Amino acid sequence: MKRVLIRIRGRVQGVGFRPHVFNLATALSLKGTVKNSSKGVTIDIEGERVDEFIKRLRTSPPPLAEIEEIHTEELPPVNYSDFSILHSEEEGSFTHVSPDVSICDDCLKEMLEPSDRRYLYPFINCTNCGPRYSITLKLPYDRPNTTMKVFQMCSDCLREYQDPRDRRFHAQPNACPSCGPSLTFRLTNRELEHLLTEDPLESTIRLIQTGGVVAIKGLGGFHIACDALNTRAVERLRVRKRKSNKPFALMAPEIDAVKRFVHLESEDERLLSSNKRPIVLLRKKERCPIPEAVAPKNSYLGFMLPYTPLHYLLFYYPVSGVAQPNFQCLIMTSGNLREEPIIHRNQDALERLSPLVDAFLFHDREIFMRVDDSVIKEGVFIRRARGYVPEPVMLDDEGPEVLAVGADLKNTFTLTREHYAVVSQHIGDMENFETLCFFEEVLENLKSLYRINPMHIAADLHPSYMSRQWAERQGIPVTYIQHHHAHAAAVMAEHGIKEQVFAVVLDGTGYGTDGTVWGGEFLMAGIDGFKRLAHFEYLRLPGGEMAIKEPWRIAVSVINDLYGGQSQRYLSALGYYDRFPPAQIESIRKISRLTHFSPKSSGAGRLFDLVASITGLVDLNTYEAEAPIALESMVCDAVDEGYGFSILTDSIPWRVSFKKALNQMIDGVLRGEAVEIISTRFHNTVAEAVCEVMERLRDREGGLAKVVLSGGVFQNVYLLRRIKKGLKSRGFQVYFHKRLPPNDACISLGQAYILRERLNGL
């Protein structure tokens, strides 16, 4: 007889851990107890096969569990009479909150089985699937601490919930048509009344099939849906929702349907089918039938598979006379306005989304924590949210509790406790009151869930950032971290690096220590600080922020500098006088010489904007990075050569000049060279310039070999692959993001890592 107290930390709540323990203990004839606490799971177990129990617990945990630590302590036997599951208790330590999980195969099969009592029920779930983070009010994760507390289980559901041998044992969202959430349909376009039925789902499907647009309440907020193969419906939605070219997300019923439209590699298929169900950006096939209006000037389409029962029912709900699936592909884009957060409350949706849609499909399960869809492109996070948040980043050692508020674009924040960093879901651009409210809403929730009370804040150096101004109003010490230093530190945090490294940070905009706009940076970075070693040569931004939205302004300025008195001839030959009024062009030429009206920027993103305009691809960014995305879409693997560039070493920091490349590029445009060739040669040039600069800096700085890569430009996977390959071939150890996007969404982790390590060193 042996008795052991086992404490388990990790993702062990809301994942069926206690019933798994119960059934394993029973199978091994062991006695004792198991309970949840805010520290994790505690097991008090005795019998003859305790060692086998611990071994099997380590090697075969429940499918959704992730064990980080198992601590055992042998105790005197007490002769338990059976094995039981105790009520949860609250303690003071860190425990994990599970992300939301897509519907499992067992529940999907039951939902589509006519003899099952949950046949066609859009809120079916079990211990292995369903909502978690989005419905959790507080820990421990029990039904009274979720938004399901308002639904009293019927006798059948309660019996399942209380039976440790049942798949729905302690599945907190457990429900059925008799006792759980339900759907309602509301039509706002009275011209479509003839499509209405008494069935909310059938009405929704009929309306979409006839070209209508519907706002659908999902897991973490509202989606706006229409038939993706109905060009008129897509174009109508484009005009109503964004009046920009920002791509719409797509949902297909199964993998084979996705393969009809895009090229799919095995890793893409694995991601699409995983229980996290992100949007995966995939290259379009030639003659793809998806309308161009879904993703204008973009060679990628963002696909996801259904991840809730309701999503599957949109495709497979039996509608009389219609072959299944009901749709080959649906637009399923975020239900929001402009750059505001996703809407998650029924009344808010009705008030704000009515001008965009013809109808609403509501449900009455409250979404406590709204969370948008995650987006991944060839293994690189573009947006980290549903399915991944709030999984923490594990740090090497314990440290103080801090808050890092991130940047203003693609904002996230980070909280630290013990040896974890909890990075929020995608918050958005801190340019409006609604986003600030969302920031505060998520912050208060995560502070409460994880019992974190930060005593120090890290913020960006930019004095005008709303995130920094918010931090300064909190009445606790604020440490300011330079933007690109934070980018580098985010990669360091993910890889547990504390020593000095080289950093290549390529993004659009970041406030420099000299008050200018940085963005194409070569740094030596560590916890204590950084040194700027080199940067892309400055470009002028005529009109400041307007030049970021209108890249043609940068192009006019650069052509003016390159060709002087001949610039008008070149501007005319490149078509600028055909695309813009001559007076407007002359105005830009004049103000480009005035420093006050044309600040300088070393931003790599601005260089891509410039080239996109010169090649005639994009003159106006209707959403962030539209021009660079269009330029990347033209890349072809058949071209290996690049253009010329210069590394100017007459002063420190060094400058990387692309004037030679721009001259050669413009000559190519005027000769009628294909945009695909010009774009590819440009990408190759940037990659070669980065690698050569790093090689020469290594020689200058004494042989440092580690280099981290970060910044939004590295969402360009062609450029990323080429730079990583080039650096590795030169003997560098290259580190890149594993769990966060390279764009500004990683800034908060870098800020938190620097502040936390500095405080640790005091």
Q: In this structure, what are the phi and psi dihedrals at residue 759, rounded to the nearest 5 degrees? A: -65, -35
Where, residue-wise, is CATH 3.30.420.40 in the chain? 535-735
Mean pLDDT over 4-23 rounds to 87
Q: CB count, 10 Å around CB of 27?
A: 11
Question: What pLDDT sits at residue 170?
Answer: 86
In the numeric block, which tokens belong to residue 436?
Answer: 């600030």
Whole-number Å distance between alpha carbons of 698 and 477: 37
Q: In this structure, what are the phi and psi dihedrals at residue 631, rounded to the nearest 5 degrees? A: -65, -45
Give 639's pLDDT tier (boundaries 50, 70, 90): very high
Mean pLDDT over 457-462 rounds to 98
Which residue pairs, CB below 8 angstroms and at least 24 apart, start in 73-77?
Answer: 73/4, 73/5, 73/7, 74/2, 74/3, 74/4, 74/5, 75/3, 75/4, 75/5, 75/44, 76/3, 77/1, 77/2, 77/3, 77/46
In the numeric block, which tokens belong to residue 169?
Answer: 């044992």
Q: Which amino acid, one-letter code, is at 352?
A: R
For residue 729, give every residue at least 6 positions away whose Cβ sits within 8 Å of its Cβ, in sequence order, or none: none
Please return the burial class of 454, using the count of CB atoms within 10 Å of its CB with bins 0-12, 13-18 and 19+. Answer: buried
Residue showing tokens 């600080």: 529
Question: What pLDDT sits at residue 94?
Answer: 66
Q: Could you tell me the sign of the dihedral formed by the alpha carbons of 331, 337, 340, 346, in that order? A: negative
Buried b (16+ CB within 10 A) or exposed e, 304-339: bbbbbbbbbbbbbbebeeeeebbbbbbbbbbbbeeb
For residue 384, give every residue at least 6 positions away whose Cβ sits within 8 Å of its Cβ, in sequence order, or none: 374, 412, 423, 425, 426, 739, 740, 741, 745
Radius of gyration of the chain (CA): 28
Buried b (16+ CB within 10 A) or exposed e, 680-700: bbbbbbbbbbbbebbeebbee
Nearest to 311 by CA among 374, 252, 242: 252
Residue 521 zone, left/alpha/beta (φ > 0; ψ -120 to 50; rest): beta
Question: What pLDDT sits at residue 613?
Answer: 97
Least trusted range by pLDDT, from 135-139, 177-181, 314-318, 425-429: 135-139
Name the β-bridge partners of 101.
Answer: 130
For residue 198, give every residue at least 6 positions away whose Cβ sits within 8 Å of its Cβ, in sequence order, or none: none
- Give the residue, 51 or 14, on which the prediction is more confident: 51
Name the β-bridge partners of 451.
Answer: none
Whole-number Å distance between alpha carbons of 707 and 500: 9
Edge-first strand order for the sheet with 393-399 is: 393-399, 414-423, 402-404, 456-460, 478-481
- Note the pLDDT tens digit of each residue in 196-216: 889 999 999 999 999 999 999
3-state helix, strand, coil split of the chain in percent (to 5) is: 35, 20, 40
Name the β-bridge partners of 362.
Answer: 184
Mean pLDDT over 465-492 rounds to 97
Nearest to 62 by CA among 109, 126, 128: 128
- Give the residue, 319 or 611, on which the prediction is more confident: 611
SS3 (DSSP) at 51: helix
SS3 (DSSP) at 235: helix
* Annotation: CATH topology of 535-735: Nucleotidyltransferase; domain 5 (3.30.420)
Whole-number Å distance between alpha carbons of 719 and 741: 15
Query: What size, in residues, is the chain?
Result: 762
In this structure, are strands 654-657 and 646-648 parallel, antiparallel, or unpaired? antiparallel
Whole-number Å distance between alpha carbons of 662 and 681: 11
Question: What pLDDT sits at residue 668?
Answer: 97
Answer whether 107's CB lies under 8 Å from 125's CB.
Answer: yes
Question: What pLDDT sits at residue 165?
Answer: 86
Q: Number of H helices and number of E strands within the chain? A: 24, 29
Nearest to 372 by CA among 414, 412, 407, 404: 412
In this structure, are strands 83-85 and 66-75 parallel, antiparallel, or unpaired? unpaired
Give the alpha-carbon dihedral of 455, 459, 461, 464, to 10 degrees: -120
**pLDDT, averaged across the chain:** 94
Question: What pLDDT sits at residue 440?
Answer: 96
Angle between helices 582-591 and 552-563 in degrees, nearest 10: 70
pLDDT above 70: percentage of residues in the chain: 98
* Annotation: CATH topology of 183-375: DHBP synthase (3.90.870)
| Overall CATH class of domain 2-85 | alpha beta
In the numeric block, which tokens belong to residue 21?
Answer: 């323990």
Whole-number Å distance between alpha carbons of 45 and 447: 33
DSSP string, 600-668: EE--HHHHHHHHHHHTTS-SS-SSTTHHHHHHHHT--TT-------EEE-SSSSEEEE-HHHHHHHHHH
Mean pLDDT over 55-70 rounds to 89
Q: Could you tell me the sign of the dihedral formed by the alpha carbons of 755, 373, 19, 37, in that order? A: positive
Answer whether 591's CB lies under 8 Å from 543's CB.
Answer: yes
Q: Which amino acid, one-letter code, is at 622?
A: T
Name the β-bridge partners of 734.
Answer: 707
SS3 (DSSP) at 68: strand
Please return the burial class of 231, using the count of CB atoms within 10 Å of its CB with bins 0-12, 13-18 and 19+. Answer: middle
Give 625's pLDDT tier (boundaries 50, 70, 90): very high
In this structure, are strands 393-399 and 414-423 parallel, antiparallel, or unpaired? antiparallel
Answer whether 64's CB lies under 8 Å from 16's CB.
Answer: yes
Read off the DSSP letter of residue 405. Answer: -
Where, residue-wise, is CATH 3.90.870.40 in the chain? 183-375
Answer whether 470's CB lies under 8 Å from 405's CB.
Answer: yes
Where, residue-wise, is CATH 3.30.70.100 in the chain? 2-85
Angle made by CA atoms 710, 716, 718, in degrees to the nearest 5: 115
- Note the pLDDT tens digit of each residue in 398-436: 999 999 999 999 999 999 998 899 999 999 999 889 999
Question: What pLDDT sits at residue 91?
Answer: 57
Name the β-bridge partners of 183.
Answer: 363
Is the predicted pLDDT of residue 92 greater than 60, yes or no? Answer: no
Q: In this structure, what are the phi and psi dihedrals at residue 67, rounded to the nearest 5 degrees? A: -85, 125
Residue showing tokens 């059934």: 23
Question: What pLDDT sits at residue 602?
Answer: 97
Answer whether 244's CB lies under 8 Å from 250's CB.
Answer: no
Please return the burial class of 556, using the count of CB atoms within 10 Å of its CB with bins 0-12, 13-18 and 19+. Answer: buried
DSSP string, 690-715: HHHHHHHHHHHTT---EEEEESGGGG
Is the predicted pLDDT of residue 39 greater than 80, yes or no? Answer: no
- Note the pLDDT tens digit of each residue in 250-274: 999 999 999 999 999 999 999 999 9
